[in-house]
């Protein structure tokens, strides 16, 4: 995905982002598509998070898809999960979506 496509997707989904932010994220060797999917997913789920912290995780090579999907799954189950906690669990190689999607 290129920067203009990503910007278009963000505009259509009403995900606030600046072209410069996309350009910086796209310079990383990490999966740009997963980054866009993560921020759009968090925006659509109306989850408040620190974009700066998520960007830092992305640039460090963290699995932002796992982090964002885990936050959404936890919210749906009415479980408190902060971005910091989600990042820590991702560092521990926990599949957050699986963890918070399980039926109890």
* Per-residue pLDDT tens over the stretch 10-28: 999 999 999 988 888 888 7
* Per-residue pLDDT tens over the stretch 43-86: 999 999 998 899 899 888 899 999 999 999 999 999 999 999 99
Q: Which long-range contacts (CB under 8 A, 24 or more apart) does 50-53 make?
A: 50/83, 51/21, 53/83, 53/84, 53/87
pTM: 0.84
Q: How far is CA 56 from the centre of its chain?
A: 11
pLDDT of amino acid 29: 61
Number of separate domains in the chain: 1
Range of the domain at 77: 3-101
């Amino acid at each position: 995905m290129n920067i203009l496509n990503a910007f278009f997707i963000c505009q259509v989904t009403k995900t606030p982002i600046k072209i410069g932010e996309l350009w910086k994220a796209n310079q990383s060797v990490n999966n740009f598509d997963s980054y866009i999917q993560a921020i759009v997913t968090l925006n659509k789920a109306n989850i408040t998070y620190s974009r700066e912290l998520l960007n830092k995780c992305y640039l460090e090579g963290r699995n932002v898809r796992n982090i964002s999907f885990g936050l959404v799954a936890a919210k749906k189950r009415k479980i408190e999960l902060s971005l910091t906690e989600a990042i820590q669990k991702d560092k521990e190689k926990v599949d957050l979506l699986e963890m918070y999607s399980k039926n109890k």
